Amino acid sequence: MENERESNSVWGFVVEVVKFAVLAALIVLPIRIFIAQPFIVKGESMVPTFDDGEYLIVDEISYYAGEPKRGDVVIFRYPKDPSKYFIKRIIGLPGDTVVIEDGSVKIRAGEGSSGLTLEETYVTHASRDNLVTTLGKGEYFVMGDNRRNSLDSRVWGALPRENIIGRAFLRLFPPDEIGVFPGAVQK
């Protein structure tokens, strides 16, 4: 009789653990797959905005409702190897012409536009590249904030919209840098 009660309590415990695991998976997995995911910064292409090893949460849901904007810090699949994830800042939007001359970045939106020169206070090491490129539909021009040490659209071309995973939503590590929308451009 005592063995039977013991067996029932062990079986009850196992059933409760399985219920809890299934419930946790039903809640956590959709959030992890469709809403937010962790990302660890690797490399120095976004210094001083993000340092190597910083831990971010990526907002994956905002771009279902709207399009990426100039200045957003985005995480995306590298077009030359989609198994790799990169973090960069959006500089040019679909239809823009991006003109880079001696480290200065100018954006022309449409034909005949005189354009705007970006005020990039987050850039500490501007590159001395010279480039002119016009973006097509669904194409973005992205650059790292550390221009001298960044593999970005200047090298491999426009970023297709479908490669964008989401934007940097939350910095969780290091603790003294915790913040919402880290790297956001003040307008």
Nearest to 75 by CA among 35, 39, 29, 32: 39
- In three-state form (DSSP H/G/I as H, E/B as E, the rest C), the secondary structure along 17-45 is HHHHHHHHHHHHHHHHHHHEEEEECCCCC
Which residue(s) pair with 159 in the sheet?
140
The question of whether 45 is a catalytic residue gets the answer yes
Task: Tell me 158's DSSP state.
Answer: P
- Residue 120's φ and ψ, nearest 5 degrees, are -110, 75
The torsion angle over the Cα atoms of residues 140, 146, 151 and 152, rounded to 10 degrees, is 10
* Cα–Cα distance measured from residue 158 to residue 138, given in angstroms and rounded to the nearest whole number: 9
Per DSSP, helices labelled H in 132-178 are 153-156
Please name the amino acid found at residue 114: S
Please identify which of the residues 7, 42, 45, 69 carries the catalytic annotation: 45
The question of whether 42 is a catalytic residue gets the answer no
* Cα–Cα distance measured from residue 6 to residue 1, given in angstroms and rounded to the nearest whole number: 9
Please identify which of the residues 80, 84, 88, 127 carries the catalytic annotation: 88
Catalytic residues: 45, 88
